[in-house]
Amino acid sequence: MNRLEVDRALGQTPCICGDVEAWHPKCYAKFLGRPKHEVDAAMDRAYRTARRKLRERAKVQAGEALMMANG
* pLDDT tens string 17-43: 889 899 899 998 998 999 999 999 999
pLDDT of residue 55: 94
Q: How far apart are CA 48 and CA 64, in angstroms?
A: 25
Determine the average pLDDT of the residues in 32-55: 95
pLDDT of residue 67: 82
3-state helix vs strand vs coil in the chain, percent to 5 = 65, 0, 35
- The total number of structural domains in the chain stands at 1
pLDDT of residue 40: 95
- What range does the domain containing 35 cover? 3-69
pLDDT of residue 65: 83
